[in-house]
Amino acid sequence: METEPTEDIDQPLRDRLKAHPGPALLWGAVLCVLLLLEGPTYLDGLLGAIGYGLALLPGSPGAEAFASASAFFGELPHLLSRELIPNRGYYDGSAWQGTFLGLEPKYAWLIRFLLVYAYVAVLLGWLWYGYVLFRRHYRAADWTPTDDVIDRLRSHYWGLFGLAVVVFFITMAAFAPVIGPTTAEENIEGPYSYDMQYYNEDTETVENITIGEANLGSASRGSGDSNVGIWSYDDFGRFHPVGTLVSGKDLFTFLAFGARVSLFIGLGSMAIAGVIATTLALVTAYYKGVADLIVVLTSDSVQAMPALLLVILATVVFKNHWIAELYNGAMLFILLFALIRWPGLWRAVRGPALQVGEQEWVDAAKSYGQRPTVIMRKHMAPYILGYLLVYASLTLGGVIISVSALSFIGLGITAPTPEWGRAINIGQQYVASQSWHISLIPGLLITLVVTGFNALSDGIRDAIDPQSEGAEGGAAGAAAGGGGG
């Protein structure tokens, strides 16, 4: 895609924006509208995360203030709120009451679910259009190496499949309070603290019952009346897209909030491991010699230890420690997986870092007397971040599998915090019955998400390095790239 000609290729971006502000202003205005439509959701999540982090610090005075602010924004109406498109209601014998436009709960929920993903698609599409506008109107150069990387990724069908799966997973986690048929407070944390109305067909009257009691009557524990399967209602008029658990809780809500836990652990551990790996790669590539030897020996020592056994041992040792209580064990797993995974990431970016360290521009920066930290940050780091992204996304899938495996054997995230591996564990005895959905659906989701991250990493790798296996181009190249992880 060609850019419009500019008078001065060295003209600052700010001046180019002033000379032709129309497209940028229009794009920014539409983006603001899109963000404001879901503004309370973003602020609720951000302030809640800050408040939770402050609560972990002893004697922190600001935790309650952030929690209160989060609750305030959480109650404000927004485009995709449960209050605007409710799916919780009851049948009074003639019509549904309390649902969106009086529709059946399944249709009301489906509308909200589809609107969430339509909103995300529009938002991502508009962000992409902003990049196109930048290339067309405001970028001085007609071409940059990034253009070729993006073009190769756009034609890498295996990588695009991975991108679609990752977007689906992240959206599920980010909008979990909205896309679930019920809330985490009602479904997971305190079902006996909330009431609901339902239509009793025997007495032909509308009655009240606690959600906990309703869950007891909606448990999936075999076949016949002891099962609430996929895309069905329970005896209390509640719709369950993928059935219920053995406790009668909604499985879809459990999976949505479980995605948050998996994503939090995966991204948290990869962020810490990535910082460690990048820092050590830059230091060893710059100083070489003894520094490189020390890191090699340290990484070999860490990788020589059986990773899963080490995690299991640490989980048992820290079982009653205060750090194991943070987010029901999630923080402990973040630190453990960061400790275990950084050597692999470091070895993945060590080679590119050493290559960059030998380039002429690095020698020129040294001759001009720039500090080592400045050279590493400005002249070396940008060239290895792409490789780090590839291997971090590939490793993240392994973290998700490991967390699920630990939860499966009872050493992972503790209840009531939802985790996909625990759902597989509690439903394994019903795999051969009509309640197969309890184990099979979380298992399929884990497989799909891990495959998606691997496919995306293959696509990014082939886009960055066209000489890599699977980057030959076309469908054949994309298929080959899928097997290269």
Q: Are residues 194 and 283 in the same domain?
A: no
Query: Among residues 49, 90, 98, 92, which one has the least CA distance to residue 69?
Result: 49
Dist. CA 403–CA 397, nearest whole Å: 10
Q: Are residues 220 and 303 in the same domain?
A: no
Q: Are residues 260 and 370 in the same domain?
A: yes
* Residue 402 covered by a domain: yes
Contact present, 21 and 29 (Cβ < 8 Å): no
* Residue 73 covered by a domain: yes
Tokens (6 digits) for 389: 């992204």
* Residue 468 covered by a domain: no
Q: pLDDT of 26-39, one tens digit each?
A: 999 999 999 988 88
* Residue 294 covered by a domain: yes
Q: Are residues 275 and 404 in the same domain?
A: yes
- Report how far Cα 315 is from the mean position of its chain's Cα atoms: 24
Q: pLDDT of 406-434, one tens digit each?
A: 888 888 787 888 999 999 999 999 999 99
Q: Are residues 312 and 425 in the same domain?
A: yes
Q: Are residues 402 and 261 in the same domain?
A: yes
N-terminal to C-terminal alpha carbon distance within the chain = 31
Highest mean pLDDT among 79-83, 236-240, 264-268: 236-240
Across the range 367-372, mean pLDDT stands at 88
Contact present, 162 and 61 (Cβ < 8 Å): no
Across the range 369-398, mean pLDDT stands at 89
Q: Are residues 293 and 432 in the same domain?
A: yes
Instruction: Please tell me the predicted confidence (pLDDT) of residue 54.
Output: 66
What single DSSP character describes residue 458? H
Q: Are residues 323 and 191 in the same domain?
A: no
Pairing outcome for strands 90-91 and 239-242:
unpaired
* Residue 121 covered by a domain: no
Q: Are residues 303 and 440 in the same domain?
A: yes
Q: Are residues 280 and 397 in the same domain?
A: yes
> Of 78, 94, 120, which one is at a domain's C-terminal end?
78
Across the range 110-128, mean pLDDT stands at 96
Query: Among residues 170, 209, 168, 167, which one has the least CA distance to residue 192?
Result: 209
* Residue 463 covered by a domain: no
* Residue 354 covered by a domain: yes
Confidence bin at 235 (pLDDT 50/70/90): very high
* Residue 86 covered by a domain: no
Helix axes 157-174, 251-287, angle to 10 degrees: 120
* Count of the separate structural domains present in the chain: 3
Query: Among residues 283, 320, 308, 318, which one has the least CA distance to residue 298?
Result: 283
Dist. CA 44–CA 69, nearest whole Å: 8
Instruction: Please tell me the predicted confidence (pLDDT) of residue 469.
Output: 56
Dist. CA 45–CA 417, nearest whole Å: 17
Q: Are residues 399 and 292 in the same domain?
A: yes
Q: Are residues 71 and 198 in the same domain?
A: no
Domain that holds residue 56: 19-78
Which CATH number is 331's domain given?
Answer: 1.10.3720.10
Strand (E) or helix (H) holding 53: helix 39-55
Q: pLDDT of 159-216, one tens digit each?
A: 999 999 999 999 999 899 899 999 998 988 889 999 999 999 888 899 999 999 999 9
